[in-house]
């Protein structure tokens, strides 16, 4: 992985985002931002994730002399309700019951900040997700696995939670937590080009992300 530009930094503690970013074939380091995720609950979800993604990236950029920092934030939105990470097992069951058999949106905000001069580019990507008509027993078994506990909306499409999803319309990696299609587009504005021979963003079966077609 050769990259002759400024250092690339991922401002996230999410192992899922780290794994996804590696697919671009670019070397990077990880620095957790520690930025507050509190915001006005009345803010539009797309605006909210853009705000938090930029806040995370700028928090890390502020402690660096240079480098390109990537921040991200993801929200699961059912109607007008934003579903965060469940507080406990009972909360996870509540969220999964709310989502059962319904269509919702997963919106990820992505921010890229140049630590040298503060220049920033921010965007948001939305994917529609339809959940299956799973049973209460399936909910209980899934919650007992522990997987939902640190996931927005109480499910992970890339893990066991994939069995609860009936279908998606849009970027799959966006639902995982980092729309690589958008990350690559933003990085290009800072002169950074992915080095991978594979599509910069793809479905689990290897087909290019629908947003790239």
Q: What share of the chain is helix, strand, coil (3-state, %, to 5)?
A: 35, 25, 40
- From the candidates 44, 65, 73, 88, give the one annotated as an active-site residue: 73
Clarify whether 73 is annotated catalytic: yes
- Which residues fall within 8 angstroms of residue 171, CB to CB, at 6 or more apart? 125, 127, 179, 181, 182, 201, 209, 210, 211
- In 3D, which of 56, 72, 67 has the Cα closest to residue 110? 72
Q: How far apart are CA 127 and CA 116, in angstroms?
A: 33
CB of 120 within 8 A of CB of 145?
A: no
Catalytic residues, by residue number, are 73
């Amino acid at each position: 992985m050769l990259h002759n530009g400024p250092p690339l930094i991922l401002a996230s503690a999410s192992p899922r985002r780290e794994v996804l970013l590696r697919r671009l074939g670019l070397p990077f380091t990880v620095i957790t931002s520690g930025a507050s995720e509190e915001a006005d609950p009345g803010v539009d979800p797309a605006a909210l994730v853009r705000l938090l993604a930029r806040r995370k990236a700028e928090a890390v950029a502020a402690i660096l002399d240079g480098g390109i920092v990537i921040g991200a934030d993801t929200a699961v939105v059912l109607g007008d309700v934003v579903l965060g990470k469940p507080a406990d097992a009972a909360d996870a069951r509540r969220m999964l019951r709310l989502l059962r058999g319904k269509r919702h949106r997963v919106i990820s905000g992505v921010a890229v900040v140049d630590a040298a001069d503060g220049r920033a580019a921010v965007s948001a990507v939305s994917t529609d997700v339809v959940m299956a008509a799973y049973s209460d027993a399936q909910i209980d078994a899934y919650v007992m696995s522990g997987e939902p506990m640190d996931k927005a909306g109480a499910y992970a499409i890339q893990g066991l939670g994939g069995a609860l999803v009936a279908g998606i319309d849009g970027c799959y990696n966006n639902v995982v937590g980092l729309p690589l299609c958008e990350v690559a587009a933003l990085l290009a504005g800072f002169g950074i080009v992915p080095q991978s021979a594979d599509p910069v963003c793809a479905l689990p079966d290897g087909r290019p992300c629908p947003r790239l077609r």
